[in-house]
Structure 1
């Protein structure tokens, strides 16, 4: 039975993040006393997370043992719908004894409403479900002739929850729904299963409000019939093993139209709809010339007749000819820095014939020193040689080819020299021996459950009080968040079922270039003193308080975001004067003599390697980390814009001035930047400044030692979700093409550093499909569209098969977003997503180890990551990260997923 009750809220200033509600004086609706036998059920809305420990029950005069259960739905904007059930132990009842239920909520964000704003949502019932429902009555018109068997595809959406509505054509049907506001989404067309008939779907309303105990109506009608033809193209060449992995380029062409290109692998199907109801169509597959055989496909003509056609390109369509104009032998010489028990593949492509280039594929080339004569001979031509990197025992190996292109003359021996170069070691201490993910912490109670749900391997938080080095004050110990971040990570680890360690990573500034004024910041000795001291404090807290057997790596540190990028843009030389030794000595002296938190390791002399130069400054930061906290892991950070700007991400871009550090100098040149060159230039500059150089020093007892340089390099594209004004308004709205270029940059960076890289602050937001609830577009950050935090980063990383390779499956509101500030992006998102081929059917992280990527940090202070309180609050990314951990990408595929 439904109950009456008194409801009081406690929204006090002391508990700004923790609001409370109390339900008392339970009575029947007629005002009589209530006897609760089996359960008390409560339903309500709350502005944050509630856990079992947040619920208490009071009984008078007799105490009863009780058990809570919680069901929750995220309905968006940091608001959650709860159903909480209290049950007595088996054989007991609550009788008339329940006097009060106290519930606490961990607010989702500062901007979330106070809990008392949801007073009207509270209902309760004894031994039954409380009445909160209204009724949605849907009247569906008869289906147009020929579409009686079509599927309707109608859904309601409320926040992150969505459910289908099953309908019958020509009838009305009612659906009980909890009171609230719902978006109604339907496929834009009703169409036959074979796609040859279609009709527009018209809804009377796209948003409805259901009220308790009342009916809300929705009408569905259909437009006139439209007719078309449909073709499925199947490529079935599995009987030719050498072609199984080949991408066959194809097109279909109407009689007077232009070719429409697509590509298939054997076993793939291309589904083509909306073709004319009548006319002629040609399906064409390009020839393949591989290893001296010429594979020719016949064209398949189709007479379109408002019907469904299935065509198969198989051995009946494929004719194989000998293509043996080859008379040149090939010898491959392999030179390795380190021979490994691994084989790789070389592909040779003569691209002078663009439709059917002659190709050769040599598999199982050993990664060992030696000469390897090939049994297949080559035809005369000029061949581009392709081969990817590979990972062996956690180390990335890169394959360099010379000459490239390879020019082959008739009846003359040819030679390729292959150099196998050892690159990054992906086994970074504190991180697992598989590609792993982490996220930005908001330092609110709900972080724990969010991180546990996602099964993350690390979390990151900005160090200090202002997050930028606190350059004007010796920071009080209680204001340094390192201990809290470490405890949060340990709390997450304790709740993970496999108890795997979660590494806390602090983002620490000792010199803040994020606001510009690089010259002034470098020259500010006082700021260096305070920031060095605060860095020392964070390091010592991690090492002295948390390094132990169960936590051999107590924390990680990413130091000085934007520092290297600004230095490179300004062309600062390693020898540039920077006062380092005096402020460093003052910072060490402060901690040597501090009465309450003395740092014993600070009693050490500064090495001669640390000079009053820019290079000396970088070495000072690395040395502090190694001396004060020898067990932490440390990385520096670089930016895409370090070469001049980040415009090259949208296409190769010429800049009037770029600093080139190749060759051990620094030259200002006019250059065209692409991802590979940007990665090389930024890597060489970091090496030029000594980021990864070792530092020699002598301890007070006279023993010589070496402090190593940094362990890894973090890469920052810009912390903003693509479809927020902070993203597209600043030139950071990416289609999959731009994400490809970003990670090609990462691969080049790692290749030239020979160090592992960590993409950092990568937005985990996803694209909206036409079935998602997308608010009306607005740049106003207080409006719903900006708050939804749509983007492409999460879709790219984890795959988004609902979109696949079709930009038309992206929600129209996103595609219509105009780009006015950065012309390189195009006119709008539709143009951006239409100018290159891409495919989101599969995750892109699968290749990351060969790029030198060992870990990806998601989100930021205002950008969607893992936690529900920043950016998009839905569990879209958390679900995918959770599932990823069942089958992670291993750096040693034959070994278990243990930690280094």
Structure 2
């Protein structure tokens, strides 16, 4: 079949920010006319994404043409665009007909990359694929003969996995382009037989209609043993963790902690020697429980060890000299639930349940004098967080004078109107065509976008329409329609009525005309939201108001600072002919301004949900998060500074109080020049402290909180392709910590060494390299996501991404399946607000267990070295 030829050029006047690709002279290569019945299919490469409104078709005679557009991001600066030009009637193209594509990107650099990339087809999408012929060698060991070898072809951000049989040749179709090729090891499911894999070539160019060869061969074969250790259903020790040790010929191989009803799988262990599996005894409430050791002679196979109820031996301990320990709960509230209290000291554990109300309850058994770690779990009851505070350590005196004191506090109400009744995730949107597909893939519950035209309040003009708000609300509805399961998606607008993000605080706060316009533009957005109310959407939208306003105010200690409030409020009301009397309590001060904004929102749009925003730098600096040792600023101290200031303002008091509070750190992906030169590069230590800050703010204000603009970018693995200039690849740490990354697990050496060598500003970040930041975070465990205990921290939702920061949408950063697959899986089993004994909480406990095991191993190694 003849192919379609064309001429293409860059339109005159192109800039680094915008240009036009103009296509004409469409005809078949034999000179005949291109005739379509329904549509013309087009694919090409572009430096930016494309919307259907960016496509203009000029025909003679004129035709009614409706474009549909799709795109996939190949790398940071290249998009593969697919366009269907749908014609109402059959049409024959003239050579003078033109198709113009408006490109919001730089066509001045390497224009031939885009001009030469066009492909066309009549009534079909162009086939631009090439063929890769993959020849895999025969199995190097009989145990591997039935397996397939897994390859990954990577083009920029896009990864295409391919599984091919051994001793055969497999043909695979791939879009034209340059690829790197990698192959996984060949291993049995239990990893007792493993072969090294080589692939040649490791990089190749796939050309349209052509074939390229790839060969897969195998190196040396290694044999291992595999072990599954199961701690069964041991009724007397529910909730406890067992320390398990594996030795080979008397030498310690590894150890770990395991809860009951749990199997721990260990792979690639030695294939010879005598293996002994032993479980340390536990003394619980003065009863010692022991389990026998079990052993096997190792070989290259899977061994299973099970320790169950019948294996347990119990005996009482001698309680001579033990004392009574009263537990005193201080509280002015009462909840119909018990608090579980734990004391631990090595393998000695005491547990006791006490009523969640003021009173005294002694441990049911006498307690051995000594030093203990205190554990007392906060809990959720009917959607409300209840916080149990206690000293971390307790010394029980021999004379029986010790008292364990607990304080029960009411925290946040997690059910925020408009949001789901479970921990949910939201994402930044940029209103480009692929947003719907990306948001549906991640099953997002909320979306956010900056309101207005300039996104900062449009303080110099009274807007007559706010298309950003209209389109964001419509996008939310479009995503709901695609989800097709009744799920709701809440549009959240970021609205400035005074933009202190710009600096020049005094100038901004005294600009009466600017304040008036911005408040009027907020009313416009609220009115648009009101117009979207229906039976299915009683809460039509959410609003986050005045990012950085409270943070700048806290830094400057602005409370009674005089500024115009009532005049701009009245001007905004008059502009929209709203006849409402401003309460006398709203004063012309900085604090009064926050009350005025609250009143305005509740008055104009009582159905919307809204909150203000604070920053970790409100106390004057964000670098406290890196401090440790004697210079440590506890997150509680910094959170207290912020909440004390908010309480002084009274912003979250009274009948017009907001529904939630957004908390920001800085939205840049960590391994980018927007982040680390400005003092933002986080590892597990810093992320723990950030979420501790979030929790402490919530507890102090009794307000549900939302981490906002959190980077969802992840750390690249040693197997990932990382360029030497990797800034544009948007690697980061926030997603790895928040969403979990089992491939990193507890070892930062699994991160690509190229990015670990990043040099940092030690004055700001307190580390010379990225590797040092991760070392500072040890022990860490990313095998489980950090969000598992978020509801107990007062967190009801997390909003991901920023204008240039990885979130969920494919047009910003490097989200892709790494993010969307994790969020999609979570959405099918979310963490509710009515039960703290969920599987998620148990998983978090398991995570804590692994960290304890890591420390235990370090402690034993240190003790052994000291005793040597």
- Structure 2 length-normalised TM: 0.80
Residue 666 of structure 1: aligned partner: none
Quote the offset at 1:361 in angstroms.
2.5
Structure 2 residue aligned with 1:132: 128
1:762 to 690, 706, 710: 710
**Alpha-carbon distance in structure 2 between the residues aligned to 1:59 and 1:270:** 67
CA contact (8 A) 1:333 1:416 kept: yes
After TM superposition, give the deviation of residue 142 of structure 1 in Å: 5.8
Counterpart in the other structure of 2:488 = 500
1:643 Cα deviation from its structure 2 partner: 3.9
Counterpart of 1:701 in structure 2 is none
- Match for residue 289 of structure 1? 283
Select the residue among 789, 792, 807 that pairs with 1:847.
Answer: 789
- Out of 503, 512, 516, the position equivalent to 2:500 is 512
The answer on whether the counterparts of 1:510 and 1:528 sit within 8 Å (CA) in structure 2 is no
Partner of 1:677 in structure 2?
637
User: Corresponding residue for 2:723?
Assistant: 776
Q: CA deviation at 1:209?
A: 0.6
Report the CA distance between 1:86 and its aligned residue.
8.7
* Aligned partners of 1:493 and 1:499 also within 8 Å: no
Match of 1:795 among 736, 746, 749: 736
Question: What's 2:159 paired with?
Answer: 162
For residues 228-261 of structure 1, the C-alpha deviation after alignment (integer angstroms, 9 at most, x for no partner) is 64442413232x1243433333455677988755
Residues 754 and 175 (structure 1), Cα distance of their counterparts in 2 relative to 1, 3 Å cut:
closer
Deviation per CA, 1:589-637: give whole Å up to 9, x if none: 65466xxx44535x7567356255x544544554555556555544332
Q: Which residue of 2 aligns with 1:866?
A: 808
Partner of 2:231: 236
CA gap 1:192/1:453 in 2 versus in 1, 3 angstroms:
closer
The SS at the match of 2:427 is strand
Q: Write the distance in 1 (CA, Å) between the matches of 2:159 and 2:241.
A: 37
Q: Which of 350, 354, 358 is the matching residue for 1:360?
A: 350
Secondary structure class of the residue paired with 2:803: coil
In 1, Cα distance between equivalents of 2:566 and 2:610: 22
Partner of 2:859: none
User: Is the counterpart of residue 183 in structure 1 residue 180 in structure 2?
Assistant: yes
Q: Which moved more, 1:17-26 or 1:741-750?
A: 17-26
Q: Is 1:405 paired with 2:394?
A: yes
Structure 2 distance, partners of 1:720, 1:599, is 41
Rounded Cα–Cα distance in structure 2 between residues aligned with 1:390 and 1:79: 48
Of 551, 558, 565 in structure 2, the residue corresponding to residue 584 of structure 1 is 565
2:519 is aligned, of 530, 533, 536, to 536
Identify the range of structure 1 (812-821 vs 125-134) with the bigger mean alpha-carbon deviation: 125-134
Deviation at 1:722, TM superposition (A): 1.8
Aligned-residue offset at 1:852 = 0.8
What does the per-residue CA deviation read over 1:798-827, in whole Å, with 9 as the maximum and x for residues that have no partner?
333444445444344344434354575645
1:475 aligns with 2:452: no
| Contact 2:334-2:356 within 8 A present in 1 as well | yes
Matched residue, 1:610: 587
1:796 counterpart SS class: helix
Answering whether residue 257 of structure 2 is matched by residue 247 of structure 1, we say: no
Residue 3 of structure 2 is aligned to residue 3 of structure 1: yes
426-435 or 803-812: which moved more? Answer: 803-812
Separation (CA, whole Å) in 2 of partners of 1:446 and 1:307: 48
Q: Which of 621, 625, 634 is the aligned partner of 1:649? A: 625
Structure 1 residue ranges without an equivalent (≥5): 656-671, 695-706, 779-784, 895-900
* Distance (whole Å) between structure 1 residues aligned to residue 124 and residue 416 of structure 2: 55
Alpha carbons 2:431, 2:471 under 8 Å: kept: no
Q: Would the alpha carbon gap of residues 324 and 103 (structure 1) be closer, same or farther in structure 2, given more than 3 Å must change?
A: farther
Aligned to 1:856, which of 773, 794, 798?
A: 798
For residues 442 and 250 of structure 1, the distance between their equivalents in structure 2, rounded to whole angstroms, comes to 51
Pairing partner for 2:647 from 682, 687, 696: 687
Q: State how far apart, in whole Å, the 2-side matches of 1:399 and 1:524 are.
A: 45
Q: 1:322 aligns with which of 310, 316, 319?
A: 316
Structure 2 CA distance for partners of 1:467 and 1:231, relative to 1, 3 Å: same
Give secondary structure in 2 for the equivalent of 1:477.
coil
Equivalent of residue 379 in structure 2, options 372, 380, 390: 390
Alignment of 1:366-765 (within 5 A): 366-367=355-356, 375-401=364-390, 405=394, 407=396, 418-463=406-451, 467-468=455-456, 474-477=460-463, 481=466, 483-497=467-481, 498=486, 500=488, 502-508=490-496, 510=498, 512=500, 515=503, 521=505, 523-524=506-507, 527-548=510-531, 549-550=533-534, 553=539, 555-569=541-555, 572=557, 574=559, 578-580=561-563, 583-588=564-569, 590-591=571-572, 597-600=575-578, 604=581, 607=584, 610=587, 612=589, 614-616=590-592, 618-626=594-602, 631-643=607-619, 645-650=621-626, 652=628, 654-655=630-631, 672-694=632-654, 708-765=656-713
Q: 1:20 to 1:360 in 2, by over 3 A?
A: same
Q: Cα–Cα, structure 1 residues 463 and 52, in superposed 2: closer, same or farther, change >3 Å?
A: closer
Task: Tell me the alpha carbon deviations over residues 730-771 of structure 1, each in whole angstroms, 9 at most, x when there is no partner.
Answer: 343333443232212211111111111111110121233445
> Is contact 1:735–1:833 with CA below 8 Å preserved after alignment?
yes
Normalized against structure 1, the TM-score is what? 0.77
User: Displacement of 1:185 after TM fit?
Assistant: 1.5
Q: Which of 760-769 and 425-434 deviates more?
A: 425-434
Matches within 5 A, 1:260-339: 260-272=254-266, 284-298=278-292, 310-314=304-308, 318-323=312-317, 325=319, 337-339=332-334
Give the C-alpha shift of residue 844 in structure 1.
2.9
8 Å CA contact 1:469–1:512 kept in 2: the answer is no
Map residues 75-90 of structure 1 onto 2, 5 A cutoff.
75-77=74-76, 79-81=78-80
Contact preservation (8 Å) 1:458, 1:505: no
- 1:58-69 equivalence runs, <5 A: none
State how many pairs are aligned. Answer: 824
1:184 Cα deviation from its structure 2 partner: 0.7
**Residue 212 of structure 1 aligns with which residue?**
208
Q: How far apart, in 2, do the equivalents of 1:610 and 1:359 lie?
A: 57
**Alignment partner, residue 667 of structure 1:** none
Bigger Cα displacement from structure 2, 825-834 vs 206-215: 825-834
Change (3 A) 1:451 1:857: same
Q: CA deviation at 1:419?
A: 4.2
Q: Partners in 1 of 2:739 and 2:307 — Cα distance?
A: 32
| Paired residue secondary structure (1:164) | strand
* Contact 2:428 2:803 (C-alpha < 8 Å) held by counterparts: yes
SS at match of 1:869: coil
Q: Which residue of 2 aligns with 1:346?
A: 340
Mapped contact 1:714–1:757 kept (Cα < 8 A): yes
The equivalent of 1:810 in structure 2 is 751
User: How much has 1:716 moved relative to structure 2?
Assistant: 0.9
Give, in angstroms, the shift of residue 211 of structure 1.
Answer: 1.8
Deviations 1:371-427 (A, max 9, x none): 6676555444454432222222322111235897373657x6986565432221223
Cα distance in 2, alignment partners of residues 454 and 637 from structure 1: 25
